[in-house]
Amino acid sequence: MVKLQSSDNQDFDVSKEVASQSVLIKHMLEDVGETEEHAIPLPNVTGPILQKVIEYAQQHKDDPPAQAEEDSKPKSSEDIDDWDRAFMNVDQGTLFEIILAANYLDMKGLLDL
């Protein structure tokens, strides 16, 4: 398990598989190793938004790796599955914060929604 800490000091325990969907966290784990005693601080992500990001990561933990940009075609709204559509059905402020968090955490799948 990996402990993530939001900017408002909320701690979230997630599996390494889920946490590693973020390139930022994956690189941090490679650099310092997996540790449960010290939380990985995420100063640019609030607790409620981190909770949403973790929810997304848990849902998509078994997805194949994202394709290279040259190989992928642009997504249309018809390409988004029902779970993702419901997940992104939030107010504009929350959506903006999710986009910022996905960018900061380097989560291409979430950013591409």
Residue type at 90?
Answer: V
The neighbour count for residue 20, using CB atoms within 10 Å, is: 19
**Does residue 20 register a pLDDT over 70?**
yes
Query: pLDDT confidence of 70, banded at 50, 70, 90?
Result: very low
Backbone torsions φ then ψ of 68, nearest 5 degrees: -65, 150
Query: pLDDT confidence of 73, banded at 50, 70, 90?
Result: low
The DSSP secondary-structure symbol of 96 reads H
